Amino acid sequence: MSVPLTRAVGTRTRSEQLLERAKRSVAGGDSSTMRVLPYHPALLIDRGKGCHIWDVDGNDYIDLNMAYGPLLFGHRPSFVIEQVVHQLQEKGSQLGFPQELNFLVAEKVKQLFPSIDLLRFANSGTEAVASSIRLARAFTGRRNIILFEGHYHGWSDTVFHKYHAAETLGDEAFRPVIPGTEGMNGAPHDAFVVRWNDAAALSSALDRMRGSVAAVLMEPVMGNAGVIPPLPGYLAAVRELTRAHGALLILDEVITGMRVAAGGAQQLFAVTPDLTVLSKALGAGFPIAAFGGSAEIMDLVASGRMFHGGVYAGNAMVLSAANAVLTKVLAERSRLYSELNTRVSQLADGIKGILRRRNVHHVVQHVGPMIAMILTKTPVDSLVDYHQVRRHADFERFIELQHALLDNGVYIHPNQYEPMYLSTAHSKEDIDEVLSRLDETVQHWQR
Selected catalytic residue, list 55, 63, 198, 252: 252
Does 252 participate in catalysis according to the annotation? yes
Nearest alpha carbon to residue 365 among 379, 382, 385, 389: 382
Select which of 61, 63, 108, 152 is catalytic: 152
68 is catalytic: no
Distance between CA atoms of residues 154 and 292, nearest Å: 17
| Dihedral (Cα; 59, 61, 66, 68), 10-degree rounding | -70
Decide: 19 and 29 in contact? Cβ < 8 Å: yes
Judge whether 152 counts as a catalytic residue: yes
Q: Measured over all CA atoms, what is the biggest interatomic distance in the chain, rounded to whole angstroms?
A: 65
Catalytic residue among 108, 234, 280, 385: 280
Give the amino acid at 156.
S
| Cβ proximity of 280 and 231 under 8 Å | no
- Rounded CA-CA distance 406/414 in Å is 10
C-alpha torsion angle, residues 111, 113, 119, 125 (rounded to 10):
-130
| Three-state secondary structure call for residue 63 | strand
Residue-by-residue DSSP string for 279-322: -GGGGTTS--EEEEE-HHHHHHHHTTSS----TTTT-HHHHHHH
Annotated catalytic sites, by residue? 152, 252, 280
